[in-house]
Amino acid sequence: MLLSALVLGLLGSLHCIGMCGPIAFMLPVSRNNKYKKAGQVFMYHFGRLMAYGIIGLLFGLLGKGLYIFGIQQKLSILIGVLMILIVIIPFN
């Protein structure tokens, strides 16, 4: 299981190289003052982590709400069937 996590983490890092890396390089940070630059970079990462955390919390609450209402399993089956149908039936 640890090996799977390592492989998935390494493969997921390719996304960061292609998308997050250029965004991080284009951050408008102060190049003259290293303390100001550190503060600006910290604020960028703090805001990014807070945004991901809030989105995760909202989706977690949504999932918990679906579980409470007892439709999570039915919804999962329906979405799985739709995904299979989209692959099988061409839309050309």
- Mean pLDDT for back-to-back runs of 10 residues, the chain (92 residues): 86 82 82 90 90 93 78 85 89 67
Q: Please report, for residues 25, 37, 50, 62, the alpha-carbon distance to residue 33 in angstroms, rounded to integers and kept in the order given.
A: 17, 6, 26, 44
The predicted structure's pLDDT at residue 49: 92
User: pTM score, two decimals?
Assistant: 0.54
Contact by Cβ (8 Å): 30, 36: yes
pLDDT reported for residue 41:
87
SS3 of residue 89 by DSSP = coil
